[in-house]
Amino acid sequence: MASRGNANEPRMWVGVVQPPQSRWPGVVGGLLIGILTAVATSLLLLALTPLFKSALAEADCDDPRGLHLVSGVGAESSSALTESDPIIVEHPAALAIDGDLGTSWVEGVDGLGKNETLTLTLPGTPDVQLVCVINGYAKSEALFLRNARVRQFTVKTDQSIQPSMLRQKPVADYAAYQSLAIPKGSTTEIVLTIAIAVGGVGGDRAADTSISEVEVWARD
């Protein structure tokens, strides 16, 4: 009978000796993946940044951003100028909401009209988010320079009262709309009170503060 060998004899195991594995390829690969991921993320954020800014931007007079123009607005004022030389020309509050840059509400008291008011009555209680004004007499550049214009309003709504400073427009932008700082929200009226006004310029300047147009924009 064939012998299977002595069970007590030492056995030899034969195998392939593997060289020690370096950890560097894995580390380098991980670093490359991390760098590529960071670069891709940065490029994606760079591409999306304008979209984020656009989504977060507030409505303004150049881009009301989905707000609707409130129609059916009424206007009255604490005073209004009536000229009589050489013909009678009136400048009532209604001319500030007629959509015509050639007309203007002009206050009618002595001086620059401090504390005179222009009151806009609104249909219902719209959720007002933006009020735009064309400050000064915008019929022409000459009339804009000649007449006084508002430097600061006090804006009153059903929500609260807020001061609103208007920047000085370049003369070339005399017919441009400017947005007012307002208490946003539902309101039945908007009262604009002249807090500070600046006089016109030139030898024939007039101490008459004018507002050519007012627009009210609300959220649906």
The predicted structure's pLDDT at residue 205: 83
Pairing of strands 185-186, 127-135: antiparallel
Query: How confident is the model at residue 34, as a pLDDT?
Result: 79
For the chain, domain boundaries: 19-57, 68-219
Query: Which residues does residue 115 pair with via DSSP β-bridges, in sequence order?
Result: none
With a cut of 90, say whether residue 24 has pLDDT above it: no
- pLDDT per residue over 83-117, tens digit each? 988 899 999 999 999 999 999 999 999 999 999 99
Predicted confidence at residue 174, as pLDDT, reads 96
What is this structure's pTM? 0.75
> How many Cα atoms sit within 13 Å of 169 on the Cβ side?
22
Query: Tell me: the pLDDT tens digits for 141-151?
Result: 999 999 999 99
What is the total residue count of the chain?
220
State mean pLDDT over 65-71.
96
Whole-Å CA distances, 99 to 117, 173, 196, 204, 214: 20, 17, 25, 27, 8
- Write the pLDDT tens digit of every residue in 56-66: 578 999 999 99
C-beta pairs of 97-101 under 8 Å, 24+ apart in sequence: 97/73, 97/213, 97/214, 98/213, 99/213, 100/213, 101/134, 101/138, 101/139, 101/175, 101/212, 101/213
Tokens encoding 115: 């504390």
Structure tokens at 189: 């009226």
Cα–Cα distance for residue pair 164/101, rounded to 1 Å? 22
Q: Is the pLDDT of residue 180 over 50?
A: yes
pLDDT in tens, 122-143: 999 999 999 999 999 999 999 9
E-assigned strand segments in 71-148: 74-77, 81-83, 89-91, 105-106, 117-121, 127-135
Protein fold of 68-219: Jelly Rolls (2.60.120)
